Structures are given as structure tokens and as C-alpha cells.
Amino acid sequence: MNVDKLSSVICRVFFVASFLLLALAVLDRLFNWFGYTILAGSYSPGRMLQFAGTFLIFVIALLLREVREEIRRGRA
């Protein structure tokens, strides 16, 4: 597997993981209003949003790397 395909797979996995963490954080906050929790207090919804943001930063970095490589290929 070459680097482009690997970065594409990692980008997709991190993107899906970040949205799953976002949904989990929203659901946990919603359940907290009713006195329940999903993760039993192991992570707060804010912490899950931080993880989701970190994953999205990696996705942005990988996409910018792909754009840079495409620009270099176009000019060469």
C-alpha cells in the first residue's frame, strides 16, 4: 500500500471517528440532563469533543499534504 492510499484510509477513519465522538458527546450530554450517563464518567463530553477536534486536525493536515502534492505534480 503506498503512502497516498494509506493517508486516504487514515483520513477517512479519523473523520468517521471524530463524528462518532461528537455524536457520543452530544448523546452523553443529553442523557446527563436526565440523570444517566453512557460512559459511566470515564470521559466527560467536553473531553470527547477534544478528541474529536484532535482527529479533525489530523484530517486537515493530511488533506493539506495531499493538496500540496497535487500542486507540485501540476507544476512539474
Per-residue pLDDT tens digits for 13-44: 999 999 999 999 999 999 989 988 888 778 88
Its pTM stands at 0.81
Q: DSSP letters of the chain?
A: --HHHHHHHHHHHHHHHHHHHHHHHHHHHHHHHTT--SSTTSS-HHHHHHHHHHHHHHHHHHHHHHHHHHHHHHH-
- Domain spans of the chain, in order of start: 3-75
Mean pLDDT confidence for 50-73? 93
